[in-house]
Amino acid sequence: MTPTTAPHNDEARKPSRARFFILGAVGAFVFLVVVVCVAIVAALNSLGDISIGSKHLEPIPVAPSACPYLREVHDKADAAGRAYLGVLTGQLDPHGWRTEAARHAQLLAAFELTLRAAKPHVPAPVANELQTVIVKVAAGRKEVKTAQSPSDYQSLSAGQVFEGTAALGNASDLVGNACGFVLSPNVTSP
């Protein structure tokens, strides 16, 4: 073998090692993103069933006059949850992220308004949980406006979604079946 052949082979291997490392890093990152997305989807799918380290709350008396307001909360939470699930699963508006972000911001604004409207009509423990949801939805509205992409929005909003979902689950536990429906939506598909 000539001396020029050996270095040539080593140099040929260096780019393939670099590509292997980059592909491995990208693969690990994609795997991590998938794991986080699956965890968020699982949280959204079990909105009424969140019990991380806590028990379900016992239902309290809720006036029938609160039920139309709570139905609106349920419906708006369902719409916002489906939209967020669409972001997580990549089922977005074909016109792009800006269009999807604007639509999502409108859904969150409508959800926040119904939460605010319902709050004076429910018992204090339920109102306290709804207030937590209001704070988390308001934060999500800011995050969707600043996010540059769906993945950016996911990373910015994951904590808000999780905490808001937990508070809505608590409110749902407190309301129980007083209105003939479960307050937490059953988000299963976008």
Per-residue pLDDT tens over the stretch 23-36: 555 544 544 444 44
> Given a cut of 60, is residue 165 above it in pLDDT?
yes
| pLDDT attached to residue 186 | 81
Q: Are 128 and 120 a contacting pair, CB within 8 Å?
A: no
Neighbours of 105 (CB within 10 A): 17
Comparison of pLDDT for 149 and 54, the residue scoring more = 149
Q: How confident is the model at residue 135 (pLDDT cuts 50, 70, 90)?
A: very high
Contacts of 87 (CB under 8 A, 6+ apart): 100, 104, 150, 153, 154
Q: Are 190 and 123 a contacting pair, CB within 8 Å?
A: no
82: tokens are 């489906």
Q: What is the mean predicted confidence (pLDDT) over 67-91? A: 93
> Given a cut of 60, is residue 125 above it in pLDDT?
yes
> Given a cut of 50, is residue 102 above it in pLDDT?
yes
> Given a cut of 80, is residue 40 above it in pLDDT?
no
Q: What is the mean predicted confidence (pLDDT) over 33-45? A: 49
Comparison of pLDDT for 187 and 112, the residue scoring more = 112
Neighbours of 170 (CB within 10 A): 24
CA distance 130 to 42: 21
The whole-model pTM stands at 0.71
Q: Which amino acid appears at position 19 of this protein?
A: R
> Given a cut of 50, is residue 89 above it in pLDDT?
yes
